[in-house]
Amino acid sequence: KNQVEQSPQSLIILEGKNCTLQCNYTVSPFSNLRWYKQDTGRGPVSLTIMTFSENTKSNGRYTATLDADTKQSSLHITASQLSDSASYICVVYSSASKIIFGSGTRLSIRP
Amino acid sequence: DAGITQSPRHKVTETGTPVTLRCHQTENHRYMYWYRQDPGHGLRLIHYSYGVKDTDKGEVSDGYSVSRSKTEDFLLTLESATSSQTSVYFCAISESSGRFSTDTQYFGPGTRLTVL
């Protein structure tokens, strides 16, 4: 069964600290993996897109990694800011025309 | 929100009434999608469209229908709303299916629907 599981479900950290969010998937055949940021009351916004051959991609303070062998991805946030408070969603695209969303990690940054 | 609008943004309706949600885009993207988002679940695909009058079902299509008569508009209809359809509905667009490409999927601001 195609699944995307994210951990932790929620996370609270202090402003300025780093954190890492995890995504494990069992989607096959794999095409690409995306991380989205969703602010409260808004639609998701794309942060990174990675294909099978890419193992690291950065977008400012956000760095995503992909291990296609173990079917794991992570999103690392450096020097967190209050504006990073949001839900982060891992999405896996299957080359069989399936889009599978994780249920997200809710991140709260405390001053 | 990348030239995507949804209307209405909020709606409260009663069980058994028909409801239509509208998604409008100004990007001329070929693909349009309707998702619902519920607590504890990831976004779930209801229906999608790959061109004018070309639509297909997603994983949670029961109780929903769609229509796309123009490139820029994608309508989602709940024929007879039920309380289980209380949710936040998101429209999304993309230039291609994303199956083999890495083009971005852009989301609208969402519609919060409450069925009493």
Contact check, Cβ <8 Å, B99/A94 = yes
Q: For chain A, what's the residue count?
A: 111
- Residue A101: list chain B partners with CB under 8 A: 42-44
pLDDT, tens digit (0-9, with 9 covering 90-100), for B88-113: 999 999 988 766 666 788 999 999 99
How many whole angstroms separate alpha carbon B27 and alpha carbon B25?
A: 6
Q: What is the pLDDT of residue B97?
A: 76
- Residue B1: list chain A partners with CB under 8 A: 42-43
A101: nearest CB among B43, B100, B109: B43
Q: What is the pLDDT of residue B100?
A: 62
Main-chain dihedrals φ then ψ at residue A106, nearest 5 degrees: -90, 115
Residues of A in CB contact (< 8 Å) with B are 4, 31-32, 34, 41-46, 49, 51, 89, 93-97, 99-104
Q: What is the pLDDT of residue B59?
A: 87
Q: What share of chain A is helix, strand, coil (3-state, %, to 5)?
A: 5, 60, 35
Mean pLDDT in residue range A91-102? 85
How many whole angstroms separate alpha carbon A50 and alpha carbon A69?
A: 14
Q: Is the pLDDT of residue B2 over 70?
A: no
How many whole angstroms separate alpha carbon A50 and alpha carbon A63?
A: 11
Distances (CA, A) of A15 to A40, A77, B52: 18, 11, 47
Q: What is the pLDDT of residue A95?
A: 78
Contact check, Cβ <8 Å, A41/B110 = yes
Chain A: give the shortest CA distance to residue B107, in Å. Answer: 5
Q: Which residue did the predictor score with more confidence, A41 or A79?
A: A79
With bands split at pLDDT 50, 70 and 90, how would you rate the model's confidence at A107?
very high
Bridge-based pairing state of the strands B87-94 and B31-37: antiparallel
With bands split at pLDDT 50, 70 and 90, how would you rate the model's confidence at B31?
very high
Q: What is the mean pLDDT of chain B?
A: 92
Residue of A nearest to B112 (CA): A41
Q: What is the pLDDT of residue B101?
A: 66
Contact check, Cβ <8 Å, B109/A102 = no
